[in-house]
C-alpha cells in the first residue's frame, strides 16, 4: 500500500496517496484547467505534498482564462515556427481579453498570414498535445536555446531587469529555477517547447475552436525604442465558441461607438497634426457639449460650497519640488523652459497652486472646510504609443477641487464629496458603478508614516462602505502622498472606466507648512482632500460619446431641434417656430438647404438630432408641427404650445429620448 499524505481541499482534510496531483482530485470536472496550491497557480499534473491546500481553478475564472490564453499564445508561437522556422521568439503573455506573442521575422505579418496561422493552430489544437513542465539549468537552457537570442537575453538578465522581464515574459530568471514547457504529441515525442514558468492547461484540446488572431503590429523588444523592433500578433481565446462570438460582437459594437470615429462624423473635435499628438481642438458642436459640461459642474460646485479660483499654466520648478511631485512625475511632465534664470514647467497638476492660495493669508478653524475649485488645464507628456483619442491626451482640463479640513472633519467631507460625485454621474446618465480603494504597498514610492496611512485609509474605506456600493481593493495604486477612492463606471456596453477620484492627503499640507488657528489658539495642520468629478473633461467627454453612441440626451445635444420644411415655402413658418424655442433657451436650427426632403431627414438621422420638427401645409394651417424622434417614430399635428412644452421639459429633466 502506498504512503499517504494529508491535503486540504474545499476546507476539509483529505488523505491521499503520495504523488497525487490536482488532476486526480478534480479530473471529473473538465472545466478545471489549473489548481491553486498554497496560493500559487500550478499545473494539474503538479505532485502534491503533505499539508498542501488545493483549490480548483475553472476555465471561466480570471486566473483560468489567463492560463488558457497563455497556452494559446504558446500554440501561436509553435504555429509561427512551423510556417517560418527562421522566426525568433520574443515573449507571449496573456493580456486583458486575450494574448500576444512577439516575433523577429524578416517581413511583417499580413491578414492572410494570420488566417494561415489560425489553420495551423487549429491542427495543433486538434492533435491534443499536452503541456509538460521540465526544470532546466541556466547553462542547459542557453545551450538548448542557442538559436533564440531573445530567450538567451532573458536567461542572462539579473536583478531588477530580470524581474521586469520575467513579469512580461512569464519566465523565471535571475537566479530562480528555469523551466521549459514541452508540447508532447500523443506518441510522447516533443513537438515544440518554450522557456516558461507556466502553468498551462493540460491539453491543447481545451482551446477548441474558441480562439481568433485579431491583428499584428510592430513592438519594440521589452518596450524600449533602443531595442530591435519585433512583430507582435494579438489574439483572443475563450472557454466556448459562444463566448468568443459575444466578445467579437462587443468589439463590433465598441467600434461603432468609437469616440474618435463619431467625433469626426458628428464634427465635434479633431487632433490636427500641426498642433501635436494628444492635443485636442473642439469644434463648435463639440464646444457646445463641453460648455454644457462646464456650466453644469461649475454651478454644482458652487451649490456644494466651493469657491472658484484660477491658476496659471506654468510655474517655477521649485513649486513641484515643495509639493513632492517632481521626483515621481518628472518623466511624464514636459521638459522645463529656461527663463530669467529659472526653470519653468508646464503645469501637470493644480493642487500645489491651490496650496499657495490657502497659504496666502492666515486661516482660522472657522473657515474650514475651505473648498477651492477650478477648471485647471494641465499638460502631461504621455508616450505616443499610449495616447488614445480623448481618453488619453497630453493636454487636459480637470474639474479639480481641494477641500482643506480639520482631521475631525475629514470623514464628513469625504462622504459629502462621494454624494456629490455620484449625483453628478447620475445626471449624466451614468448609474452603473462601483468603488475602488487604492492603498499603499511595501514599495518605497510612498511618503508619510504608517500611522498616517492607516488613518487615511480607514477614513476612506469607511466612507466608501457607507455608500453600500461594491468596494474593490487596489493595493499599491495610491498616489505617493495618500490613498484614494475612484469611481469605476460601466458604460452602455459593459466596459469599465475610471472616472471621479477622491484622495486623502496629509503630506502636501506638511510640505507647504499649511496651518490654521484652532479654537484653542494653537496652530494646526489641515488635511487636504483632492477630488475631481469628471477626472478630466476630455476623458469624460470621450466616455459620454461612446456611452451614448453619439446620441446625446437633449440637454447635451449640440443641436437639440432641427426644423425640416416639406417644401421651401414653409421655411418662414419653421423660422417662427425656431424663434419661440430659442426664447426658451433651446438650441434649434432650420434646414433651409437645397437638399430634397428625404435627404434632409437622412442628414438629421446621421447627426443624431433628438427632435426633428416637420412642417407642411396641414401643420402651418393648424399652428402645429409634426415630430420625428431619433428612434424613427413620429407624432403628427402637435399644437405648437404642446410641442415647445415637450421639448423644454425633456431638456430640463435631462432625460434620454
54-77 average pLDDT score: 96
Half-sphere exposure of 261 (CA within 13 A, CB side): 9
What are the cell numbers at 69?
490564453
Say which DSSP state 355 is in. H
Task: Return the domain boundaries, the chain.
Answer: 4-58, 63-253, 269-547, 561-652
Name the band, by pLDDT with cuts 50, 70 and 90, for residue 176: confident
Q: CA 81 to CA 88: how far, in whole Å? A: 8
Q: Residue 99: is its pLDDT beyond 90? A: yes
Q: What is the pLDDT of residue 156?
A: 84
The pLDDT assigned to 170 comes to: 52
**How high is the pLDDT of residue 1?**
52
Cα distances (angstroms) measured from residue 539 to each of 402, 533, 566, 609: 20, 12, 40, 23
Known binding-site positions = 351, 402, 530
pLDDT digits (tens, 9 = 90+) for 120-168: 999 999 999 999 999 999 999 999 999 999 999 999 873 333 333 433 4
Classify each residue of 55-90 as buried b or exposed e, where b means 16 or more C-beta atoms within 10 Å of its C-beta. Answer: bbbbbebebbbbbbbbbbbbbbbbbbbbebeebbbb
At 225, is the pLDDT very low, low, confident or very high (cuts 50, 70, 90)? Answer: confident
Summarised one tens digit per residue, pLDDT across range 355-408 is 999 999 999 999 999 999 999 999 999 887 788 999 999 999 999 899 999 999
User: pTM of whole model > 0.75?
Assistant: yes
Per-residue pLDDT at 166: 38
Residue 440: band (very low, low, confident or very high) from pLDDT cuts 50, 70, 90: confident
CB within 8 A of 282, min separation 6: which ones?
A: 268, 269, 290
Q: How far, in Å, CA of 602 to CA of 653, rounded?
A: 27
Our measurement of the distance from residue 333's CA atom to the centroid of its chain's CA atoms, rounded to an integer in Å, reads 21
> Which stretch of 1-5, 343-347, 359-363 has the lowest confidence by average pLDDT?
1-5
Q: What is the pLDDT of residue 449?
A: 84
Q: What is the pLDDT of residues 5-30, one digit of tens each?
A: 999 998 899 999 999 999 999 988 88
- What's domain 4-58's architecture? Roll (3.10)
- Identify the three-state secondary structure at position 235: strand
Catalytic residues: 351, 380, 398, 400, 402, 484, 530
pLDDT at 161: 36
pLDDT attached to residue 552: 96
For the cut 50, the answer to whether the pLDDT of residue 416 exceeds it is: yes
- Backbone φ and ψ for 209, nearest 5 degrees, come out as -115, 20
- CATH (residue range 561-652): 3.40.50.800
Grid coordinates standing for 89?
521568439
Strand, helix or coil for residue 529: strand
Question: What is the C-alpha separation between 312 and 335, in angstroms, rounded?
Answer: 17
The CATH number assigned to the domain with range 63-253 reads 3.30.980.10
Give the angle subtended at the CA of 573 by the CAs of 570 and 576, to the nearest 5°: 150
Q: What is the pLDDT of residues 285-340, one digit of tens each?
A: 999 999 999 999 999 999 999 999 999 999 999 999 898 888 888 888 899 999 88
pLDDT reading at 172 higher than 70: no
What is the chain's mean pLDDT, rounded? 92
What are the tens digits of pLDDT across the range 563-615? 999 999 999 999 999 999 999 999 999 999 999 999 999 999 999 999 999 99
Q: What is the pLDDT of residue 160?
A: 34
Annotated binding site for Zn(2+): 351, 402, 530
1.10.600.10, 3.40.50.1820, 3.20.20.220, 3.30.930.10: CATH of 269-547 = 3.30.930.10
Q: What's the count of helices (H) and strands (E) in the chain, helices before strands?
A: 20, 33
* pLDDT at site 157: 76
Beta strands 130-136 and 178-184, pairing class: antiparallel
Higher-confidence residue of 39 and 441: namely 39
Percent of the residues in the chain that have a pLDDT greater than 90, as a whole number: 81
Mean pLDDT value across residues 501-520: 93
pLDDT given for residue 149 in this prediction? 95
**C-alpha span between 399 and 402 (Å, rounded):** 10
| pLDDT tops 60 at residue 345 | yes
- Quick one: what percent of the chain has pLDDT higher than 70? 97
Amino acid at each position: 500500500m502506498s504512503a499517504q499524505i494529508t491535503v486540504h481541499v474545499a476546507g476539509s482534510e483529505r488523505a491521499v496517496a503520495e504523488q497525487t496531483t490536482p488532476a486526480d482530485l478534480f479530473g471529473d470536472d473538465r472545466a478545471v484547467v489549473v489548481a491553486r496550491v498554497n496560493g500559487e497557480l500550478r499545473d494539474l499534473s503538479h505532485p502534491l505534498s503533505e499539508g498542501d491546500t488545493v483549490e480548483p481553478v475553472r476555465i471561466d475564472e480570471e486566473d483560468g482564462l489567463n492560463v488558457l490564453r497563455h497556452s494559446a499564445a504558446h500554440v501561436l508561437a509553435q504555429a509561427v515556427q512551423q510556417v517560418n522556422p527562421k522566426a525568433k521568439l520574443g515573449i507571449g503573455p496573456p493580456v486583458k481579453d486575450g494574448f500576444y506573442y512577439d516575433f523577429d521575422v524578416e517581413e511583417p505579418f499580413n491578414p492572410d498570414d494570420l488566417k494561415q496561422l489560425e489553420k495551423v493552430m487549429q491542427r495543433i489544437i486538434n492533435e491534443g498535445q499536452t503541456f509538460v513542465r521540465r526544470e532546466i539549468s541556466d547553462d542547459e537552457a542557453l545551450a538548448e536555446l542557442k538559436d533564440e537570442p531573445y530567450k538567451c537575453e532573458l536567461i542572462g538578465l539579473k536583478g531588477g531587469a530580470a524581474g521586469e522581464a520575467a513579469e512580461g515574459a512569464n519566465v523565471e530568471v535571475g537566479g530562480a529555477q528555469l523551466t521549459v514547457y514541452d508540447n508532447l504529441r500523443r506518441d510522447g515525442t516533443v513537438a515544440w517547447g518554450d522557456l516558461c514558468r507556466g502553468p498551462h492547461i493540460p491539453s491543447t484540446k481545451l482551446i477548441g475552436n474558441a480562439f481568433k488572431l485579431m491583428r499584428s503590429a510592430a513592438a519594440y523588444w521589452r518596450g524600449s525604442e533602443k531595442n530591435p523592433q519585433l512583430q507582435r500578433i494579438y489574439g483572443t481565446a475563450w472557454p466556448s465558441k459562444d463566448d468568443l462570438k459575444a466578445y467579437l460582437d462587443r468589439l463590433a459594437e465598441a467600434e461603432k461607438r468609437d469616440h474618435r470615429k463619431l467625433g469626426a462624423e458628428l464634427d465635434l473635435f479633431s487632433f490636427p497634426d500641426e498642433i501635436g499628438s494628444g492635443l485636442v481642438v473642439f469644434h463648435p458642436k463639440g464646444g457646445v457639449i463641453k460648455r454644457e459640461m462646464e456650466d453644469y459642474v461649475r454651478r454644482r460646485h458652487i451649490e456644494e460650497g466651493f469657491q472658484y479660483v484660477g491658476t496659471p499654466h506654468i510655474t517655477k520648478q521649485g513649486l513641484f519640488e515643495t509639493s513632492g511631485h517632481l521626483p515621481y512625475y518628472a518623466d511624464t511632465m514636459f521638459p522645463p523652459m529656461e527663463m530669467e534664470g529659472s526653470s519653468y514647467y508646464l503645469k501637470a497638476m493644480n493642487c500645489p497652486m491651490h496650496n499657495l492660495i490657502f497659504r496666502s493669508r492666515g486661516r482660522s478653524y472657522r473657515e474650514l472646510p475651505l473648498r477651492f475649485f477650478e477648471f485647471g488645464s494641465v499638460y502631461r507628456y504621455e508616450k505616443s504609443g499610449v495616447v488614445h483619442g480623448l481618453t488619453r491626451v497630453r493636454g487636459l482640463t480637470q474639474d479639480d477641487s481641494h477641500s482643506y479640513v480639520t482631521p475631525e472633519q475629514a470623514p464628513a467631507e469625504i462622504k459629502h464629496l462621494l454624494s456629490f460625485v455620484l449625483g453628478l454621474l447620475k445626471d449624466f446618465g451614468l448609474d452603473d458603478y462601483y468603488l475602488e480603494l487604492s492603498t499603499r504597498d511595501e514599495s518605497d514610492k510612498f511618503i508619510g508614516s504608517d500611522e498616517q496611512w492607516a488613518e487615511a485609509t480607514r477614513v476612506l474605506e469607511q466612507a466608501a462602505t457607507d455608500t453600500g456600493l461594491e468596494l474593490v481593493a487596489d493595493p499599491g495604486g495610491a498616489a505617493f502622498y495618500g490613498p484614494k477612492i475612484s469611481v469605476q463606471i460601466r458604460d452602455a456596453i459593459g466596459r469599465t472606466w475610471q472616472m471621479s477620484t477622491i484622495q486623502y492627503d496629509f503630506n502636501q499640507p506638511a510640505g507647504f507648512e499649511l496651518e490654521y488657528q484652532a479654537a484653542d489658539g494653537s496652530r494646526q495642520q489641515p488635511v487636504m482632500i483632492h477630488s475631481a468629478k469628471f477626472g478630466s473633461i476630455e476623458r469624460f467627454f470621450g466616455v459620454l460619446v461612446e456611452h451614448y453612441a453619439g446620441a446625446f440626451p437633449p440637454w447635451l445635444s449640440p443641436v437639440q431641434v432641427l426644423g425640416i420644411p416639406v417644401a421651401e415655402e414653409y421655411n418662414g413658418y419653421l423660422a417662427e417656430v425656431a424663434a419661440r424655442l430659442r426664447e426658451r433657451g433651446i438650441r434649434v436650427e432650420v434646414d433651409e438647404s437645397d437638399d430634397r426632403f428625404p435627404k434632409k431627414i437622412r442628414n438629421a438621422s446621421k447627426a443624431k438630432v433628438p427632435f426633428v420638427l416637420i412642417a407642411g401645409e396641414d401643420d402651418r394651417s393648424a399652428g402645429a408641427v409634426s415630430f420625428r424622434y431619433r428612434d424613427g417614430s413620429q407624432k403628427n399635428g402637435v399644437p405648437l404650445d404642446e410641442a415647445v412644452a415637450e421639448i423644454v421639459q425633456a431638456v430640463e429633466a435631462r432625460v434620454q429620448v
